[in-house]
Amino acid sequence: MKSPIAVVVLAAGAGTRMKSTLPKVLHPLAGWPMLRHVLDNVGRLKPSRIVGVISPGASAVAAAFAPHPTVVQKRPMGTGDAAKAALGALEGHRGPVLVVFGDAPLVTAASMKNLIAACARAKAAVGVLGFKAVDPSPYGRLIVRDGVLEKIVESKDATATEKAVDYCNSGVMCLDGRLIAGLLGAIGNDNAKREFYLTEAVGLARAAGQKTIAVEGEEAEFQGVNSRVELAVAERALQERLRIAAMTAGVTMTDPDTVWLSADTRFAADVTIGPNVRFGPGVSIAAGVQIRAFCDIEGARIGRGALIGPFARIRPGSEVGEDVHIGNFVELKATRMARGAKANHLAYLGDSDIGVASNIGAGTIAVNYDGYGKHRTIIGAEVFIGSNSSLIAPVRIGRGANVTAGSVVTEDVPAGAVAFGRARQVTKKGRAAPLRAKLKARATAAKRAKNKH
């Protein structure tokens, strides 16, 4: 059953410091839009509802929230006004309401659960996640006395004594669903920017005799993303988190700092990854796989015991079976390699099915595109494709067939057949020296003519 928690995700910020036409919360982080990380983290709380607050015309952001509903903050009038815009979508909800930001993708579900649980224990009207900052100067300060959060003071408004406080506001807040409408409705805009600040809810709750608390988390989780520099910093932090999780689960990385993962990369145990390997979205790796240096894998499944690379590229839609070998400078695209098949060197296999234990020679190309459409190459089991062969799709090569090196195959090859697709070789004995002399004279004459001009 879902818990009686509701989540409001504030995602109406303009993100002008990103210098981009792409909405800030849709910038990618570990292969996902930033907002997807936030939704994934709050989704682990199993809330009864998630409501997104977006800016007018932000259809792409609304689509990223789906299937969760969104409401529009008509004008950028502060975080308090943004949260207030969600009240209609929260109608009837009486449990805790968690307010988070769409540009804070590193906040973990564990920290949010701690906040919600602490509010329940303390019967607090408002709870805030805080952190001890190495450099607190940019952040609002949490003023806590005797376990009670008295107020949140913005850095620019803090006294000298308050500026010395290193306990800072993360922006993540939990509010009692029975009181949230009254608290948000009472927030005023008597400040320099004439905006409604969500942080004012703390003082309003205190004035009404309600309890307010702060719960401490790790600073690394509460880094927001407001620029591309901060996006890169968040990427590095998230990659470190993903690598540690993978290695803890039984993956070996010889140089972890050079391995780049997507948020949804899935590994079984006893996978070994060499240096400088990138995993795009949609990759699953079975047990015992070895991925050597400088590979790029995206949208693919790799079967048990496979050997990949070095310098291999596996593109979306590919399935690499058990004990398959994909060697250096081999590229797969939407290709299925059955158990024990091998393509060890310098091959392009696009839109292909490669049968059990078949061998693809160096320089082989599955010619899948005719300028208008893509076509498949079907290779049966135990087929041998000789080096430097071009397979012109659509084409089928039957079980146990042998395609000789240097062939251009334009017709189906029956099972057990040998196919030759070469031009006829012509050999003229003793003609090499005269040919070289002729070519040398031609080159000399051309050089003299050029020098005259």
CB atoms within 10 A of CB 21: 5
Catalytic residue among 27, 93, 325, 345: 345
E strand or H helix at 62: helix 59-65
Give catalytic status of residue 68 as yes or no: no
- Strands 325-333, 313-314: pairing is parallel
N-term to C-term CA, the chain: 88
Is 241 strand, coil or helix? helix
Enumerate residues 6+ apart whose C-beta is below 8 A from 40.
32, 263
CB 325 within 8 A of CB 344: yes
The strand pairing partners of 174, in sequence order, are 98, 127
CB 154 within 8 A of CB 188: no
DSSP character string of 288-345: T-EE-SS-EE-SEEE-TT-EE-SS-EE-TTEEE-TT-EEEEEEEEES-EE-TT-EEEE
Q: What's the chain's Rg over C-alpha atoms?
A: 31
Q: How far apart are CA 108 and CA 217, in angstroms?
A: 10
Q: How far apart are CA 105 and CA 32, in angstroms?
A: 10
Enumerate residues 6+ apart whose C-beta is below 8 A from 168.
130, 131, 132, 133, 136, 139, 140, 141, 142, 222
Enumerate residues 6+ apart whose C-beta is below 8 A from 330.
312, 313, 343, 344, 345, 346, 347, 348, 349
The strand pairing partners of 212, in sequence order, are 126
Enumerate residues 6+ apart whose C-beta is below 8 A from 13.
24, 25, 55, 76, 102, 103
Q: Which residue has the tokens 């208008």?
A: 372
Amino acid at 323: D
Is 272 strand, coil or helix? strand
Q: Which active-site residues does the annotation give?
A: 345
